Amino acid sequence: MLQYILRRILWMVPTMFGITVLLMLVISSAPGDPAAIATAGSLETQAEAGADTASTYEKFRERFHLDEPFHVRYGLWVSDVVTLDFGPEFFRPNTQVSTELWRRLKVTVPLSLIATLLSYLIALPLGILSAVKRGTFIDKLITLGLFLLYSLPTFWAGLMLMLAFGASGLDWFPVIGLHDKDASTFDTWTYVWDTVWHGVLPVATMTYGGVAYLSRQMRVGMLETIKQDYIRTARAKGLDRRTIIFKHAVRNSLIPVITVFATILPILIGGSVLVETIFNVPGMGLYAFEGLVSRDYNIVMATVTISSFMTLLGFLLSDILYAVVDPRIAYE
């Protein structure tokens, strides 16, 4: 197992190399020039001050190495990234991307962790119940409800929650940001409660889709496991239904659910672009979106690189968990 893990970790190096090269190629070829955006944004000021716009444009490109050939820019970027330095933001040169990433992570990770835990805590029992009650009214009701949830677009669900429970509806929850405008004056417990109250709708929007998908995966795994010979043998031995389900069937039905785990880590880091944009949550998802809109290559490279690395790490952890759940799985 240890040799397998080491090989997988070594293979992550060329994989990340390929991902980052393609990423830089794509964003370099995308429409929009950040230097032109920066220059155009200050044309009026420069004209009044008598500044040379062309000179400002060239200085911007030189500062961020946009005037260098692709291989030189990529080499400079890699040399910085190995020290976890993603460079400054294009339009806020005094702000380091690494510093801002850390600040955003402290917002995104707790929200995503809560949403993920809730998804599993709700989805697994629903999937088990749906499989055990296969063909009954309960199964059909759960299936219909979950398919309806899964079919709802995230942006639509988020907006509906805002309209229903925000100031324009029942006015139960705040819908913008994670803190009240006067949060800086709150004591510790009031501040925590204010954060939790602001996070209810974003977490709900991030959770519902995962519940629908995970429960279907759990149901499929359970139905497949229940058909196995060892389950029939357990029944023939006279074991009660609860023991058969929870001791024998559930553990071996977790393989499809564990496979989904590979996608969880990048979600924890990257957050949900749509959810964070809708509710104006200052997390990684919103940061990536802002970088993309402003053509800030440093932000885009940083956020996508971290998400890609966490995806690869998620696949590795999934493979390891396979062996934990099913000891028959061995890695050479």
pLDDT digits (tens, 9 = 90+) for 213-257: 888 888 888 888 777 777 778 778 777 777 777 777 777 777 777
- Domain contains 40: no
How far is it, in rounded angstroms, from Cα 37 to Cα 145?
47
252 lies in some domain = yes
CA angle, corner 209, sides to 208 and 213, nearest 5? 120
pTM of this structure: 0.77
Q: What is the model's pLDDT at position 21?
A: 92
At how many degrees (to 10) do helices 70-81 and 2-29 cross? Answer: 140
User: Domain total for the chain?
Assistant: 1
* pLDDT at position 330: 58
Query: pLDDT per residue over 56-113, tens digit each?
Result: 778 888 888 888 888 888 998 988 888 888 888 888 888 899 999 888 888 888 888 8
Does the residue 126 lie in any domain? yes
For residue 62, give both structure tokens.
């030189």
Task: Look at residue 43 in the predicted model and tell me its pLDDT.
Answer: 45
- For CA atoms 300, 305, 310, 316, the dihedral sign is positive
Domain range for 197: 104-325
Burial class (CB in 10 A: 0-12, 13-18, 19+), 87: buried
CATH number of the domain encompassing residue 111? 1.10.3720.10
pLDDT of residue 46: 46
- Which amino acid is located at 269 in the chain? I
